[in-house]
Amino acid sequence: MGLEFMPIFKDWAVSYDDEVEGHNPQYKDVFEGYWDVITEITNQSGNSILEFGSGTGNLTEKLLQAGKKVYPIEPSQEMRAVAQEKLKDYQVEFLDGDMENFPQPENEVDTIVSNLVFHHLNAAEKNSALAAYNKILPSGGKIIFGDTMFLSQAALDAIIERESSRGFEDLVEDLNREYYPLITDLEEIFRANNFKTNYRQMNNYVWIVIAEKIN
């Protein structure tokens, strides 16, 4: 899972929760409506959840508060430590792993979720991950991902130009470095792995995709 990005999260673990509150001007628009995104993911989820890239545990906590069983997976030791401390009053263990290599849940899951994670995988990795998830989920099971994605290359280019004009060099570097998908390309990958999808735009960057396994 794009483990080349791991050093970023080692440094980001302590400040991540400040970032999602919009305290970093460069990423304020990316995190606009952050809590609405994780609330919607929670509302659309089933009862037994495999969560990838659980980070500091914000989505995990929402899912647990809703009475769901959660198996959170996170590759960053620093992020896991923050999350485990934050959710120490819950009976949950944050497990080491990523979107491609992870411990299998002890019980069947009906939903796989993540927020702001899937873009760490390149196109081939996205495809292989979805093929694996198809084998885990029952018929009718769902994948629910919140992530930065774009309707077209022109839309992505326009965002990069806009943020460059604002002097947001870190964000521009991020947009050029990681594997933010075009929705048309993402749709093809989901369809190839027997999922039907719906998309909902949450801000200028983030969409939620709900993909249901059809067989």
What's residue 11's pLDDT? 66
Say if residue 74 carries a ligand binding annotation: yes
Region label for 83, one of left (φ > 0), alpha (ψ between -120 and 50) or beta (otherwise): alpha
pLDDT at res. 171: 97
Q: Decide: 47 and 74 in contact? Cβ < 8 Å.
A: no
What is the pLDDT at residue 3?
Answer: 55
51 is in an annotated binding site: no
The domain of 99 spans 3-213
pLDDT of residue 10: 63
CB-based contact 142:68 (threshold 8 Å): no
What the block records as the tokens of 125 is 């990795």
Whichever domain contains 201, its CATH number is: 3.40.50.150
CB 215 within 8 A of CB 141: no
Query: What pLDDT, on a 0 to 100 scale, did the predictor assign at position 15?
Result: 82
Per DSSP, 191 falls in state H
* 188 has binding-site annotation: no
Instruction: Record the tokens describing residue 145, joined without a space.
Output: 């991902």
3-state helix, strand, coil in the chain (%, to 5): 45, 20, 35
Looking at the structure of the chain, the number of domains it has is 1
Residues of the chain scoring pLDDT < 50: none
